[in-house]
Amino acid sequence: MPDEVWENLEIETLVLADNDLTEIPTKIGDLKHLRMLDLGHNALTQIPEELGELAGLRDFLYLHDNRLARLPNSLSHLKALRYLNISENAFQEFPDAVCGIKDLIELRVTDNQLSSLPNCLANLTRCESCI
């Protein structure tokens, strides 16, 4: 991925879907103006903690169709995020960080290896569509 992506600090939308990415640099935490981030349809096995520094991320975060089995706890800092898609990954346990994202309106978790959902989902009182 070109360094210019991480040097454009004013960027609000970043779509890196369908690129067979296996990692995301920690520099992503510098993109403080991001409102929308699409990392779907890649080969990611982890997300950097620095993603939780994107306080402006509020419109959507797509992480679907990767190989994620966990999410960093720092994602709970994304208090303004409204839409999160973590479907089609390798989660065996529901990521605790998701329960800290209080403004979620829509949450997608289908097609994982989850055997149960945590009680903390009840704390997502604004969530209209949690599947």
pLDDT in tens, 54-73: 999 999 999 999 999 999 99
Percentage of the chain with pLDDT > 90? 79
Dig out the tokens for 10 from the structure. 């004013």
Mean pLDDT for all residues in the chain: 93
- Does the pLDDT value for residue 130 go beyond 80? no
Q: What is the mean pLDDT of residues 10-28?
A: 96
Break the chain into its structural domains and give their ranges: 4-130
Q: Is 37 helix (H, G, I), strand (E, B) or coil?
A: strand
Chain centre distance of CA 31: 14
Residue 65 near residue 39, CB atoms below 8 Å:
no
From residue 13, alpha-carbon distances to 16, 43, 44, 121, 126 in Å are: 10, 21, 19, 28, 24
From residue 6, alpha-carbon distances to 1, 9, 39, 77 in Å are: 9, 7, 15, 21
CA-based nearest residue to 31, from 6, 58, 68 = 6
Which residues, other chains included, contact 51 with Cβ-Cβ below 8 Å and sequence gap of 6+?
Answer: 24, 28, 29, 72, 74, 75
Distance CA 106, CA 109 (A): 10
Regarding pTM above 0.85, the answer is: yes
- Does the pLDDT value for residue 80 go beyond 90? yes
Q: What is the mean pLDDT of residues 29-46?
A: 97
CATH of domain 4-130: 3.80.10.10
Residue 94 near residue 109, CB atoms below 8 Å:
yes
129 band by pLDDT with thresholds 50, 70 and 90: confident
